[in-house]
Amino acid sequence: MDISDIATNDYAEVEAEERLGKVRSIFEEENPKGIIVTEAGQYEGVITQRQLIQSHIEDDTKVAALVADAPKISRTEDVRETARMLVEGGTKIAPVFEADNLWGVVTEDAILEAVLENLDALTVGDIFTENVVTVAEDDTMGKVINLLREHGISRLPVVDDSGFLTGIVTRHDIVDFVVRDNQKTTRGDRRGEIERLLDLPVYDEMSSPVETVTVEDSVKDAVGEMLDNDYSGVVVTPADDDRVVGGILTKTDVLRALSYTEEEHLDVQITNIELLDALSRQEVQERIEQVAAKYGEMNVHHAHVRLHKHKEKLRGTPLIQAQIRLRTNKGQVAGSGEGYGADNAFHVALDKLERNVLELKGIEHDEEYEGQLLRKLNEL
């Protein structure tokens, strides 16, 4: 299946020289997944809600200052490959080209709607993200913004003093607050309103009750719920207690699952792939395979490499954070590290990953030995 019938030429567009205030108005009035940015009629990039949570950005700022790259998609591109490109580009929307001309856009929602009927073979437990970051009800929204930026995520479950789920706060909630309060203040008051947002407790802005799914639910039902309610993700709970945060299922998780391959080589997703400098995708894949091969009993279903660029530089080379996460038949194993340039950062993260894989191997061997010893004692 290709995206010729999924892409649309109905999309929001702004000029790069337009004020950011107009972008905020478009998000409030139309709630698009993203906005195409052009300059003199030529495609420049996209702008999404992710850029709008930068609280220091004023309404008079030019859109050009916040333009983000997005993969360029051919109108006849395969759906699975398009899903992979959206995941690796860290975007919910991408431009679609026909004969080198901007034709329209494709969104994650359009892809998910097109494949919805095929998702009943997967359960939420197959693809959801575990070990999620949470916030407390009395944490500040300033902390929320920092966590969203630091982890590159779009939502945080909120828990009470007992650790039970009571709400959720999302990037959309923050953008909505900024837009809403900007309309009732003058430009001179805007800085004060932003500072007030940063000091607000999460409890005041979170959504409650929270839509949840269980690990046993089908991905089809979970995605249907997200599409019907315009959610980007839902909280995953154990089947026997919807107060316990077990993880998060996002539309990105589903797109990532769509792009799984049945090839001989390990399936590797790379978020922010444009940051790779001296490394190729094949080299990243081969090096991860070498680590996984050191533990023959570990079957790696999927690997995800996430790159993040910091502002700090050394002789012009940016400081990069690399995170590698393996989804295996033995659970999840991860490693992270920083370095100047993607190559250095990836090597540090890979070294940490290898140590964690070997540690897991050692723990399992210790447990196996302990089990054998106990069986022998019971036989005496």
151 and 37, same domain (yes or no) = no
Q: Which pLDDT score is estimated for 370?
A: 45
98 and 128, same domain (yes or no) = no
Q: Residue 215 and residue 249: Cα distance in Å, rounded?
A: 10
Among residues 98, 120, 142, which one ends one of the domains?
120
Determine if the pTM surpasses 0.85: no
Average pLDDT over residues 42-61: 76
76 and 143, same domain (yes or no) = no
229 and 273, same domain (yes or no) = no
Q: Tens digit of pLDDT for each residue in 319-361?
A: 999 998 887 766 778 889 999 999 999 999 998 888 887 776 6
Average pLDDT over residues 279-301: 76
Q: Give residue 297's pLDDT band: very low, low, confident or very high (50, 70, 90).
A: low
132 and 247, same domain (yes or no) = yes
> Rounded mean pLDDT of the chain?
82
Among residues 256, 287, 307, which one ends one of the domains?
256
Match 């900024």 to its residue by tokens: 178
Q: List the domain range (segments joined by +) for residue 21.
A: 13-120
299 and 217, same domain (yes or no) = no
Q: Which pLDDT score is estimated for 193?
A: 59
Average pLDDT over residues 242-253: 91
Is the distance from CB of 45 to CB of 69 less than 8 angstroms? yes
- 145 domain residue, yes or no: yes
Q: Residue 55 and residue 174: Cα distance in Å, rounded?
A: 10
> Hey, what amino acid is at 79?
V
Q: Tens digit of pLDDT for each residue in 299-315?
A: 777 788 888 888 898 88
Q: What is the DSSP string of 226-289?
A: HHHHT-SEEEEE-TT-TTS--EEEEHHHHHHHHT---SSSPPEEEETGGG-SS--HHHHHHHHH
> Hey, what amino acid is at 262?
E
159 and 240, same domain (yes or no) = yes
152 and 251, same domain (yes or no) = yes
For residue 132, what are its two tokens? 């999620």
231 and 205, same domain (yes or no) = yes
Among residues 67, 93, 120, which one ends one of the domains?
120
- 235 domain residue, yes or no: yes
Question: How many domains are there within the chain?
Answer: 3
- Residues 351-367 as b or e (16 or more Cβ within 10 Å = b): ebbbebbeebbeeeeee
Q: Residue 215 and residue 219: Cα distance in Å, rounded?
A: 9
The CATH number of residue 352's host domain is 3.30.160.100
157 and 218, same domain (yes or no) = yes
Q: Burial of 155 by CB count in 10 Å (0-12 exposed, 13-18 middle, 19+ buried)?
A: buried
Mean pLDDT lowest among 176-190, 239-253, 279-293, 363-377: 363-377
